[in-house]
Amino acid sequence: MKKIVGGWFEKRWYRKDGRLAEPAEACLRLTERGYLEMLRRHQAHLRASRHRLNAFVISVGNITVGGTGKTPFCLWLARRLSAGGCRTAVLSRGYGRSASAVARVAPSLEGSGFADRYGDEPVLLAAALPGVSVWVGSARWKTGEAAIRCDGAEVIILDDGFQHLSLERDVDLVLLDGKNPFGNGRLLPVGPLREPVEHLGRADAFVLSDDGSGGEVSGNDDGGFPADPVAFPMAPIFRFRRRVRAFRQGFMGTRFPPNALEGKRVLAFCGIARPERFFNTLKSLGIWVCATLVFPDHHRFRPRDWGRIFSLARKSGASYLITTEKDLVRAPPALMPALISVELETDLGPDENRFMAFMAAKFRASRPGRPLCFR
């Protein structure tokens, strides 16, 4: 029942013509007001106990639920900072992890066991960023202190940090969908907004993701960068797209070029926000998606789930099983060789140099006399 109700709401989040009969609408408005009141109290509590770290803190977040590419963008940013010589750490809440204590994520290919311990996105980041420390913990300031104390972190990136107001930051980057940034414009659970649009006044810059014409990511051509969906005069705007860099057998196995599966029959499955984008991406690459399975975001796959996946693959005649990197880290190690993951990369295109100059200026303002280097 929870999945059915949740799916019904999500389908309405990105529709602007989804009003119901007045009695139902009245109930939804009441739900929104209750959520907003709880949000105000929670944010007031966070602001009353703010902490400052002895590091340059960059928050990468959004104002909606999922689907804007925060983790791929954090990966790109951390990789560039680390290559430029900055001791960089990424902090994550570790959504869905079984433990609660502050912990450094150990790079591993052990799949679901490590994902349960740290969360799927932190495991993905740690495996992809060998020169960057990834830490998890519910209190980001405690997690950041550990990264500074143990790893000498100079730059800290908060993955999904816009709502984490208890930790002061030097730069607040907000990622928005370049085509439909606010969905139906309503707050949870009636819409996808985590907080009202006017709260975007806290942002230092906006980063717009691709317009979705190719699905979850843009293709490998030179176009596909989004147009500005709405004017944000209070902060600069940058644009980026996510591209399929390669396919991988397993998590860190053999890599294949994006056209390697063109015309092949595949079963695609995932547990992410807005899964249709993932499926559309595969189709835009000429892949024959003959069957799909959708699971809840951050889903913990059980044996019965794998039974469903392999059974549907046999019935549909699929030659390959494809999923996202985030979902793959929850697969048992024994199944890794049977699965193919989609490796994404972030591309800022013509905005890259301007974005780097913006970040360097913010760093100089916070740390006079010390340069911030990207590579």
If one counts every other C-beta atom within 10 angstroms of the C-beta of residue 354, the result is: 13
Determine the straight-line distance between the first and last CA of the chain, rounded to whole angstroms: 49
pLDDT given for residue 15 in this prediction: 66
pLDDT given for residue 213 in this prediction: 40
Q: What share of the chain is helix, strand, coil (3-state, %, to 5)?
A: 35, 20, 40
Q: Which of 90, 96, 143 is nearest to 115 (CA)?
A: 96
Q: 103, 221 in Cβ contact below 8 A?
A: no
Q: Is 293 exposed, middle or buried (0-12, 13-18, 19+ CB in 10 A)?
A: middle
Amino acid identity at 168: E
Lowest mean pLDDT among 15-24, 155-164, 171-180: 15-24
Average pLDDT over residues 146-155: 96
Task: For 280-318, write each residue's pLDDT tens digit.
Answer: 999 999 999 999 999 998 898 999 999 999 999 999 999
If one counts every other C-beta atom within 10 angstroms of the C-beta of residue 91, the result is: 32
Q: Which of 222, 264, 218 is nearest to 245 (CA)?
A: 218
Strand partners, 134: 90
Residue 288: in which H helix or E strand, if any?
strand 288-294
Q: Which of 180, 224, 233, 258 is nearest to 351 (CA)?
A: 224
Task: Say yes or no to pLDDT of 234 above 80.
Answer: no
Q: Please tell me the pTM assigned to this model.
A: 0.89
Task: For 115-146, write each residue's pLDDT tens digit.
Answer: 888 988 999 999 899 889 999 998 899 999 99
For residue 161, give both structure tokens. Answer: 């940090």
Adjacency order of strands within the sheet including 88-92: 103-104, 133-136, 88-92, 155-159, 56-61, 171-177, 205-209, 237-239
Q: 247, 301 in Cβ contact below 8 A?
A: no
